[in-house]
A and B are shown apart, each in its own frame.
Chain A
Amino acid sequence: MAMITPAAVSAVTPRASGWTRSAAAGLLALAILAAVLAPLLAPADPALLTLDQLQPPSAAHLLGTDALGRDVLSRLLFALRTDLLLMVFAAGLPMLAGTLIGAVAGYRGGVLDAALRWVADIFQALPVYVLLIAFVFVLGPGTASLLVAFSVLGWVVYARLIRTEVRRVRERDYVSASYLLGLSHTAVLFRHVLPNALRQSLVYLATDMGMALQGIAVLSFFGLGVKAGTPELGAMVSEAQLFLRSHWWLAAFPGLTIVILGSSIAALGDRLGDRLGGRPVGRLSGRLGGRLGGRGEARG
């Protein structure tokens, strides 16, 4: 393949990724809106059992009904709620835990820091999915054990990223100066060090959201996720397995939704990475709003 010149790259890349970003953002926004408005939008109670079992899509049931006569569209809308909410916590809780641990270890240094690196090495050598399944299996299926499992396995990456960044930011003049000027260590760490150390973690969080969504769906598919009967995308696909050949709509719609949501989030995460790469990011309110409106320059 011929060498790609910088000019060629800059001519092609922004348009393509700009298009992807808009599409991804639109789809995600639509999904969030649908999830929020699910009680209003759903034509029927998602748990309501009827005798109209395994109906194909029709005017009465836009996406048909399942083996228990429940309206698939209603279940899909409520499943969006379950999955998006779980996704936020399954990705957010590990970040919260990892950020706290990494920040304190990086700021204090010494034994704490060495211990963190040691533990992080062990955690990163473990196979995540196997452990995730093992964890939920031991704790018993349910939302709480799902979130515990994600947090226990997910904090390590954030702790590492934050720890490294905190150590870098800690050496800046304003950090030592603000401590010398009378701020407490806690204030310096949380108000002046951490906001400058979050950039990489935010990018990782965006990517991790997609992973979390799929993880939840996969675990629920295996019956290790949400409680049986809860509308959830992975569980819906699982319930549809028996009817895969005869009643395609049961698996197709939730399956498609997982794919679309997962790829939208991944695409947005990538874009965020491009945008924030190499530049400081501050408090979300102050900086991100302004940033996302402007045109991003690619950094090599």
Chain B
Amino acid sequence: MSAHPLLEVDGLRVAVRRDGTALTVLDGVSFAVGAGQCLGIVGESGCGKSLTLRAAMGLLPPGIERTGGEIRLSPRAGAAPCAVPPGQAAGRGLAMVFQDSHASLDPTARVGAFIADIVRRRTATSRAAARRRAVELLASVGVPDPALRFGSYPHELSGGMRQRVAIALALATDPRVLLCDEPTTALDVTLQAEILRLLDAARADRGLGMVFVSHDIAVIRQIADVVAVMYAGQIIEMGPAPDVLDRPRHPYTRALIDAVPTLDGPIGRFRPIAGSPPAPADYTPACRFMTRCAHHVAACSGPVPGVDGLDSRHRSSCVNTLEAR
């Protein structure tokens, strides 16, 4: 990791505006990603992991906006990150791969032409050079017969091939940080492994910073160096992947890992977490997992210490961390 991180998210707050009231859905999310590093964000549906990525990308849906915190992006390799004002797209330097490859490709544009178009806008090269670059990009993500596939429409490609094209599209701008929003969730397991290998290779070859969001702990374990666990709009635990996943400190992380059935684990180890996460309207400064937690103590009702995510040491927001007991 170089001296400066490529992308810093510091105290990010995002709110949904409805009927004149603002409902905070992301509350003080902080993390940093350096060159060649992959941050995995894991959590259950609705915890705000995708929203975090979209906020960083500047792709928030209408009615949802950034209300606090800073997003800083390194303008060039080796340079200190600069703040991106809210409401403005981080744009250059960031690219995103989406879960649904159908939604991320224009159904009426030939895939190669779409990529070449973006290459051309960015580098102001000739049509022919942009075309060559697009074919190269398609080849680099493992699309067989890239020159032929250049002229295909998205509906003519399989799901795995579409996701490869989507990755080529994201790489077309030479991003420094790649944001991946569950890019493997819609694929079957063998394809999932191939796409993960592909993303990992892109990260290693290009020194990409990567933020990888998934609800699948196995996928996160495979690709991430640093893991952040999100619950109810907050990061509640963060640290190096093996530490967080094998020696979780927050009871929620423990419960999340235990909720995944294993083939080799003892029978009966499959334990769903009782209850459901609070709705954003019920978010309080107290621990939001408290009501579902087997280890809660009186101090849990007080304000919880935040997770300072700007380093990669193993930290948890639990006042009664598992390790401490």
A and B co-occur in one complex:
yes
B-binding residues in A (CB < 8 A): 171-184, 187, 191-192, 195-196, 280-283, 286-287
Docked-complex contact B103 and A174, CB < 8 angstroms: yes
A-binding residues in B (CB < 8 A): 57-59, 61-62, 89-92, 94-96, 98, 100, 103-110, 114, 117-118, 121-122, 153, 169-170, 172-173
Nearest CB in chain A to that of B154: its residue: A174
Among the listed B104, B109, B117, B170, which residue makes an inter-chain contact with A195, where contact means beta carbons less than 8 Å apart? B109
Q: A173-B98, A179-B89, A183-B121 are in contact. Are A280 and B169 (CB under 8 A)?
A: no
Docked-complex contact B108 and A174, CB < 8 angstroms: no
CA of A286 to CA of B107, assembled, Å: 11
Q: List 25 A-B contacts (CB under 8 A).
A: A173-B103, A173-B104, A175-B106, A176-B59, A177-B59, A177-B96, A178-B118, A179-B89, A180-B89, A180-B94, A181-B118, A181-B122, A181-B169, A181-B172, A181-B173, A182-B173, A183-B118, A184-B121, A192-B109, A195-B106, A196-B108, A280-B108, A282-B107, A283-B108, A286-B153
Nearest CB in chain B to that of A170: its residue: B62
Docked-complex contact A174 and B105, CB < 8 angstroms: yes
Nearest CB in chain A to that of B110: its residue: A286
Closest chain-B Cβ to A186's Cβ sits at a distance in Å of 12
Docked-complex contact A195 and B169, CB < 8 angstroms: no
Closest chain-B Cβ to A173's Cβ sits at a distance in Å of 4
Docked-complex contact A174 and B106, CB < 8 angstroms: yes
CA of A281 to CA of B58, assembled, Å: 29
Q: A173-B98, A182-B122, A196-B107 known; 7 other A-B pairs, CB under 8 Å?
A: A174-B106, A175-B106, A180-B57, A180-B91, A181-B122, A195-B106, A286-B153
Residues of B within 8 A of A191 (CB): 106, 109, 117
CA of A180 to CA of B114, assembled, Å: 14
CA of A71 to CA of B134, assembled, Å: 61
Docked-complex contact B59 and A180, CB < 8 angstroms: yes
CA of A196 to CA of B59, assembled, Å: 20
Closest chain-B Cβ to A220's Cβ sits at a distance in Å of 38
Q: A177-B96, A282-B108 are in contact. Are A183 and B91 (CB under 8 A)?
A: no
Docked-complex contact A174 and B89, CB < 8 angstroms: no
Among the listed A179, A182, A282, which residue makes an inter-chain contact with B153, where contact means beta carbons less than 8 Å apart? A282
Interface of A is mostly: helix
Residues of B within 8 A of A177 (CB): 59, 96, 98, 104, 169
Docked-complex contact A172 and B89, CB < 8 angstroms: no
Residues of A within 8 A of B91 (CB): 180, 182
Closest chain-B Cβ to A164's Cβ sits at a distance in Å of 16
Among the listed A179, A180, A184, A287, which residue makes an inter-chain contact with B108, where contact means beta carbons less than 8 Å apart? A287
Q: A173-B98, A282-B153 are in contact. Are A183 and B105 (CB under 8 A)?
A: no
Q: Which of A181, A182, A286 is packed against the most chain B CB atoms within 10 Å?
A: A181
Closest chain-A Cβ to B58's Cβ sits at a distance in Å of 7
Residues of B within 8 A of A281 (CB): 108
Among the listed B103, B110, B170, B173, which residue makes an inter-chain contact with A172, where contact means beta carbons less than 8 Å apart? B103
CA of A35 to CA of B272, assembled, Å: 74
Nearest CB in chain B to that of A176: its residue: B59
Residues of A within 8 A of B169 (CB): 177, 181
CA of A280 to CA of B108, assembled, Å: 8
Residues of B within 8 A of A287 (CB): 108, 153
Closest chain-A Cβ to B110's Cβ sits at a distance in Å of 8
CA of A12 to CA of B105, assembled, Å: 38
Among the listed A171, A184, A196, which residue makes an inter-chain contact with B106, where contact means beta carbons less than 8 Å apart? A196
Docked-complex contact B107 and A180, CB < 8 angstroms: no
Closest chain-A Cβ to B156's Cβ sits at a distance in Å of 10
